[in-house]
Amino acid sequence: MEHKVHIFDTTLRDGEQSPGASLTGREKLEIAHQLARLNVDVIEAGFPCSSPGDFKAVQEIARSVKGPVITALARAVKADIDAVWESVREAERPRIHIVLGSSDIHAKHKFRRSREELLAMGVEAVRYARTLCPDVEYSTEDASRSDRRYLYQVLEAVIEAGATVVNIPDTVGYAVPAQWGRLIADIRRNVRNIDQAILSVHCHNDLGMAVANSLAAVRAGAQQVECTINGIGERAGNASLEEVVMALKVRRNYYGAYTDVVTSELCRTSSLVSRLTGLTVARNKAVVGANAFAHSSGIHQDGVLKNRDNYEIFSPDDVGASGTEIILTARSGRHAVRHRLEGLGYTLTPEELERVHQRFLAVADAKKEVFDEDLHALMADERGTSNQTYDLESFRVTSGTGVCPTATVALRSGEAVLEQSASGDGPMDACFSAIDRITGLGVTLKEYQLNAATAEKGALGLARVTLERDGATATGQGASTDVVEAGVRAYISALNRLLARAK
């Protein structure tokens, strides 16, 4: 039988504990509204006892965010519980979340109390919280390093005292999936009254297994998963919400479980959290990373263009991503280049495609990634120089401080290769003069412009040259990662147009 997994988002509490990620009250509210759009089941809005500012932020969220349960964290002491209740009581559906250690390590080195004393403290805290609020969650901190029998005993006692949710945290990220799944299954078997509470897990990512552990727990019967957007949280972070949710969506049959999360809001939520916390998302992050739908190798690009299912297990729309991206690099084949050019409105003959692909490869070798602007520049160059009279064969320039700039340019015209050298005010001027010597056409340079096609170090230079001869003008464009070559190509293109017009 399929079961629903409640998604408990703790981005605003555990996530905000990420070093360097503190949020203002307004920012927390903005994220909380987005989490409600994402349709998470529970929002843990903060730890009200930690500061008056956090208290106010939780209160504001409780007052204005509708839909999810709103909770906040308390230690198992009256003052904390009172603060949580005061901050969440105006929520549509408030919950008090109490945490108390259950491991001997915490008992001895953190609380300096016996197991029995801690058990009594936990039970008393739950009983008190239940006098305030009908929904009380109890977390057995450091459960993964706790004695099994004692853990069962604590769970049974707090459920008896009125806990409606019991949460099993792997506080230090020590668990491994098979063992963690077994623990959850054993809790289901050994805690007599477990059916009277929702069984939850909260996994940290110290060994990179927070998501795998959470999913193993779901398979073993956990009904709530605590997680954060982008996996932010203490130290290495918490289980990433988007990964847990998408794993349950894509492998629903395997897990026998589903969530009510509106997955098309995942990317928007991820970028909001990233922007407001300043914690950037790695490009290769699963589900929401910039590369999640980016295909780079020629084989994959060809496959995904034939049918997306070849290399994608869910679609960009499923998570609200902008779309499948074909990254044009030196590994891209003709299929990918033609596809992108068609998307930009160019229809190419097979011969044109061949020529453009060769030039594309030269550009890609020089600048790693080729963008749409680069393709426009290549096409302007290609279209402007087909049917030409002169074609660039090669060029060489010498220039520098205290050196007279000189250039040698070779142009192909039909079968002939014509070469000339010249000096000039700069390398560009020297090249233009060398070309003038070859053609002997007596043209006047009216305009020369050079721009970078994209804002990056290895950008394509996009040159534009206007020439005049006998009252007629023509403009040509040239593109290359070498700016002198871009200028030379633009000059030749303008020349050829002048000649074509004269004909």
The binding site for Zn ion (CB under 5 A) comprises 14
Q: How far is the CB of 363 from ligand KIV (least distance, A)?
A: 50
> Min. distance of Cβ 51 from Zn ion in angstroms?
19
Q: Which does 463 bind (CB under 5 to 8 A by kind): ligand KIV, Zn ion, none?
A: none
Q: Confirm if 45 and 29 have CB atoms less than 8 A apart.
A: no
Query: 324: closest CA among 346, 339, 345, 338?
Result: 339
Q: Minimum CB separation from Zn ion for residue 364, in Å?
A: 45
- From CA 215, how far away is CA 257, in angstroms rounded? 10
Is the CB of 155 or the CB of 201 nearer to Zn ion? 201
258's CB contacts (< 8 A; 6+ apart) are: 2, 4, 5, 248, 249, 252
Q: Which is nearer to ligand KIV, 79 or 500 (CB)?
A: 79
Phi, psi dihedral angles at 226 (to 5 degrees): -95, 130
Per DSSP, the residues of 122-164 read: HHHHHHHHHHH-S-EEEEEETGGGS-HHHHHHHHHHHHHHT-S
CA neighbor of 242 nearest in space, from 40, 27, 68, 20: 40
- What's the closest the beta carbon of residue 201 comes to Zn ion, in angstroms? 11
Whole-number Å distance between alpha carbons of 76 and 158? 12
Q: SS3 string of 245-276?
A: HHHHHHCHHHHCEECCCCHHHHHHHHHHHHHH
Which of Zn ion, ligand KIV, none is residue 73 near (CB under 5 to 8 Å by kind)?
ligand KIV
* Nearest C-alpha neighbor of 474 from the set 385, 397, 399: 385
Least spacing, CB of residue 204 vs ligand KIV, in Å: 6
Q: Residue 141's binding partner, choosing from ligand KIV, Zn ion, none, with beta-carbon cut-off 5 to 8 A by kind?
A: ligand KIV
Minimum gap (Å) between residue 218 Cβ and ligand KIV: 17
Could you tell which of ligand KIV, Zn ion, none binds residue 200, using a CB distance below 5 to 8 A set by kind? none
What gap in Å lies between CA 100 and CA 125, rounded to an integer? 10
Contact present, 2 and 258 (Cβ < 8 Å):
yes
Beta carbon nearer to ligand KIV, 70 or 99? 99
Least distance in Å: CB of 206 to Zn ion? 11
* Residue placing its CB nearer to ligand KIV in the complex, 207 or 330: 207
Burial of 38 (0-12, 13-18, 19+ CB in 10 A): buried
Could you give phi then psi for residue 252, rounded to 5 degrees? -55, -40
Taking the least distance from each CB to Zn ion, the nearer of 14 and 374 is 14
Residue 133 binds which of ligand KIV, Zn ion, none (CB < 5-8 A, kind-dependent):
none
Residue 45's contacts (CB-CB under 8 Å, 6 or more residues apart) are 12, 13, 28, 32, 57, 58, 61, 62, 70, 71, 72, 87, 88
- Residue 46 or 169 with smaller CB distance to ligand KIV: 169
Identity of the residue, 169 or 289, whose beta carbon is nearer to ligand KIV in the bound complex: 169
Smallest distance, ligand KIV to C-beta of residue 165, A: 11
Q: How far is the CB of 169 from Zn ion (least distance, A)?
A: 6
Distance CA(106)–CA(112), nearest Å, equals: 8
Instruction: Select 202 or 357, whichever has its Cβ closest to Zn ion.
Output: 202
The binding site for ligand KIV (CB under 6 A) comprises 14, 73, 99, 139, 141, 167, 169, 171, 202, 204
Sign of CA dihedral 406, 410, 413, 416: positive
Distance in Å, CB of 99 to ligand KIV, minimum: 4
**Binding partner of residue 99 among Zn ion, ligand KIV, none, CB cut-off 5 to 8 Å per kind:** ligand KIV
- CB of 206 or CB of 419, closer to Zn ion: 206
427 interface partner picked from ligand KIV, Zn ion, none, CB below 5 to 8 A per type = none
- Alpha helical stretches, state H, 78-234: 78-88, 104-106, 115-132, 148-161, 177-190, 210-219
Which CB atom, from 143 or from 492, has the smaller least distance to Zn ion?
Answer: 143
Terminal Cα distance for the chain, rounded: 80
